[in-house]
Amino acid sequence: MSGPLEGVRVIELAGIGPGPLAGQLLADLGANVISIDRKAEQLQADRPKDANRRNKRSIAVNLKAEGAADIVLELCAKADMLIEGFRPGVAERLGLGPETVHGVNPALVYGRLTGWGQTGPLAARAGHDINYISITGALAAIGEAGRPVPPLNLVGDYAGGSLMLVFGLMAGMVRAKMSGKGDVIDAAMTDGSVAIMSLIHSLRASGIWQDRREANLIDGGAPFYRCYETSDGGFMAVGAIEPQFFAELLRGLEADASWEEKQYDQSAWTEMEAAFADRFRRRTRDAWTARFEATDACVSPVLDMAEAPHHPHNRARGTFRELDGYFQPAPAPRFSSGESEIRRGAFFQGEDTTAILKEAGFDETRIAEMINAGQVEQAI
């Protein structure tokens, strides 16, 4: 292991989406993350194409088998953090709720990641990112004028969920290291997606933001903050908010310089947008990229996921790494003390069962007994 979290031990009760990403982010920074999976997979020549599984190890535990929860508790006894993303009450029924875990390790930081949170009228309901951000005001603010558009699952699941959970876990661990007392983190994607909209709420309270899509400064309403189609069907992203950058945009487009004085005059935006759209349609995306690349006009090409790894800036910084047969995001953020690493590719479920149990102090006879009893599985 290497990285700023070297020596930190994390137990991840395997789930989908936001929980595995949180574990991956910690593992990328050097944490020893053990994924508790439900059953073992058959080992194959090719690794799974799942970046959320990288840099971790996996033990397959049948949590419904008698005594299996005790095995996980043995692992928790030496861990710093635990991640679980079940509906409220499920971990308790499995014998792995916060009270039980803190009984064996009072200093552990127990991270609970859900869409609706541990309390509230919707806490027990199913949902997905689109549902979580729909009741927070975030979804209503994103998209075209005629309808909201789900921003993938980046706002609720990952920004409001995974990142907020990691933030909470790290804060909890700092306090636990000082006090010796752990904590329970209730990371709700509804809460998190509201928290990251703090600036938008402030703008609205100040009368600057309208409750209409494509009517505001950064939601596609302003002609200097939106995307324009090029002659070859590509798109350019324009973000020339500040006057000096807007002036650069006008020069690059060879547009009417008198618009500098009308930049924030919304009555001029319709005409301005039409003129900008006409100019961008006259050249290819690559031609516009070359024209604006050396300027501060805040204009850049819109690349798809296949193109992004090959952009010169991304190549220079190593923003993507090729592993398991495809380009995947490199660890982030970066530290002056050394690069975070991708130490191994995606795991197979149950691949490390025996090794993890041996590290925890179980001898080979006991491990064989647990396998025969169906409490754990070793991938073969």
Catalytic residue status for 157: yes
Active-site pick, 28, 129, 157, 219 = 157
Is 278 a known active-site residue?
no
Q: Which residue has the tokens 């309208």?
A: 210
Indicate the burial class of 121 (C-beta count within 10 angstroms; 0-12, 13-18, 19 or more). Answer: exposed
Backbone angles phi, psi at 92, to 5 degrees: -65, -40
Q: Say if residues 47 and 108 touch (Cβ distance below 8 Å).
A: no
What distance in Å separates the CA atoms of residue 241 and residue 10, rounded to the nearest whole number?
43
By three-state DSSP, how is residue 165 classified?
helix
Cβ neighbors of 360 (< 8 A, separation 6 or more) are: 74, 75, 78
SS3 category, 364: helix
Given the residues 50, 128, 191, 311, the one annotated as active site: 128
Q: Residues 370, 373, 374, 380: what is their CA dihedral angle, to the nearest 10 degrees?
A: 60
By annotation, the residues acting in catalysis are: 128, 157
